[in-house]
Structure 1
Amino acid sequence: MQVFKNLVRKYRNFSAPAKASFWFVVSNVMLRGISFITLPLFSRLMTTEQYGEMSVYHSWISIFTIFTTLTLWGGVFNVVMVKNPDNQNKYIAAFQGLAITITAVFLAFSIIFETVSSSLLSLSPFLSVSVFVNILATIPFFLWSAKQRFAYKYKMLVAITVVTSVLNPLLGYFFVINTDRKAEARIFAELIVNCILGISFFLINLRNGKVFFDKAIWKYAFRFNVVLIPHYLSMQVLSQSDRLMINKICGSSDAGIYSVAYTFGMLLTLVTSGLESSTTPYIYKAIK
Structure 2
Amino acid sequence: MKYRRLGKTGLKVSVVGVGTWQFGGEWGRTYTQPEVDQILGKAKELGINLIDTAECYGDHLSESFIGKAIQHDRQDWIVATKFGHKFHGHLNRTDHWSPQEVLKQLENSLRALRTDYIDIYQFHSGSNEMFDQDELWTLLDKQVQAGKIRHLGISIGSNDNLYQTEASTRVNSEVIQVVYNRLDRVPEERVFPSCQKQDLGVLARVPLASGYLSGNYKPGVEFTENDVRHRHERADLDKKLQLVEEIKRTEVPEGVNMAQWALAWCLKHPAVTSVIPGCKDVAQTEANAKAAELASEDHPQAWRD
Under TM normalisation by the shorter chain, which class is it?
under 0.3
Higher helix share: 1
Higher strand share: 2
TM-score (norm 2): 0.23
TM-score (norm 1): 0.24
The answer to which structure, 1 or 2, has the higher relative contact order (CA under 8 A, 6+ apart) is 1
